[in-house]
Chain A
């Protein structure tokens, strides 16, 4: 950019306006945002619009969808309202997705930052641990953790976080390794800023954009893992979960396939919304990246 360009260029609009402009250029990402909003609305309105506990009998067992307005999406073999289950399931899926992603990102950031910043034996040790975690199949480790810690929802969420941190750790490490030699880090070090401050205040904000994008992937994977656990009847039985609904719908697959199909579609749309969101975030946060 030449000096003349810089003078003619209008003042840049605020950051969030730029962000939104870049984001909405990707039409699929806007669709993802809409889907995501629908899922969030379902999670928030569970119990408000649709009456009743999803685990309680709401009508005649195996009422097909669109027959009885008390239970618009039908009931399962125990007479539980499918629509209510889908709404409450959205709440559980999002909750587990968000918390497990936070756990994974926090572990990943700490390990990746330490390894990338200090290098040397710290890096060697932490990277071998990361590789060990990557080598054990995620879902097998998740099963083992659930077998040991039990099926309470808090433990399941924690366990999903524990099996998902390796990819963000590697990303953070790579970012830190490329950033730690930059001038602003040297400047901060010469000013006597402590290592902790350099890591979390100086380098981390610069390393975050790819992590934010990747968070959407972890979120999608966490929701898939939770639903798979619930499908295998290893989830928390005290909460309605899409995976669990599909698992129970399996028993009536022949006579009432809608019991499994409806929550399945809910999972597909939710995971799809996260993938599309991630692409949009990538366009908006890393505009320099080649398309």
Chain B
């Protein structure tokens, strides 16, 4: 049987199959972490009830399958994870998946905003720096990049707060919206955007520095290639040369980095969300560490891993689409 499939689909399928062992390993990893953590579900339950006798505890353990051999427990845990059932959160008194889904939107919004700003500004500044290599402009941009790279996001957040909230009073210090205002429509959008300005800036600057440096190196490399000289000899204007000829190829390594770094950005959102009290996954991760809510924490790890796998999959597809040298089949 020969099924004719477009090569891009076959490529996509193969990439998906490759992701499966990684996801399975992460499942095993979170299970091990849960087992390593002091106390189990029953301890949490009993603690919640304020104590119980030994026979009752043993019966609870049997009910939750905690008296089973470790392989059986692992298998049960993995089948539950596969259906996005992360267990019960004893802090929020809700299934972990419900708590996570409540928070996911805020985090994704923050991610999308930060990464698009970091990407756009990073490639623009990087391209400018590369075109004027070793000039004053280039040096200024490069120094700016180094400083952004060295500034921890929590310090940057505090400094932004100090300037724009405390001194100037322009922007709100935290939260995702003005609580008692009940804005609707565009007022609501504007309100949320105003709350997101500082967190987005704090999270994006360090990644902006990464993209800037990579883009600068990449543009300088591509600008030396023969086909660029041909285009210039043909009479292409500098602007057209940059946008149509150089940028397209120079962007490829930057897009790879975008996919690779997505997981780091998710990690960085923990600090930023906690400082600006944004109700997202990052803040939830911090709270669950403080409150020892291991089920929620493992749920976050697994969900983040899935998001990263999906994003990497999408960047791979994008990359394959952009770089025709990649053989799909």
- A-to-B contact residues, CB < 8 Å: 128-129, 131-132, 134-148, 220, 224, 227-228, 231-232, 234, 243, 246-247, 249-250, 253-254, 257, 260-261, 264, 267-269, 271-272, 275-276
Contact = CB atoms under 8 A, between A and B. Distances in A.
Contacts of B166: 253-254
A138 to B, nearest CB: 5
A131 B22 contact: yes
B36 interface: yes
Contacts of A260: 155, 158
A117 B267 CA distance: 32
Contacts of A268: 147, 150-152, 155
Nearest to B143: A28
Nearest to B263: A137
A268 B158 CA distance: 14
B16 to A, nearest CB: 14
B158 A228 contact: no
Given A135-B305, A140-B285, A228-B271, A147 B263 contact: no
B268 interface: yes
Interface of B: 21-22, 25-26, 29, 33, 36-38, 146-147, 149-155, 158-159, 161-162, 166, 260, 263-264, 266-268, 270-271, 274, 285-286, 289-290, 292, 294, 297-298, 300-301, 304-305, 308-309, 312
A147 B154 contact: no
A128 B162 CA distance: 44
A138 B264 contact: yes
Contacts of B260: 134
Interface centre among A129, A144, A247, A269 (most CB of B within 10 A): A144
B87 to A, nearest CB: 15
A139 B152 contact: no
Given A132-B22, A138-B267, A147-B289, 8 more contacts: A131-B25, A135-B312, A139-B267, A144-B289, A227-B152, A260-B158, A267-B150, A272-B147
Contacts of A147: 37, 289, 292, 294, 297
Contacts of B158: 246, 249-250, 253, 260, 264
A276 B146 CA distance: 9
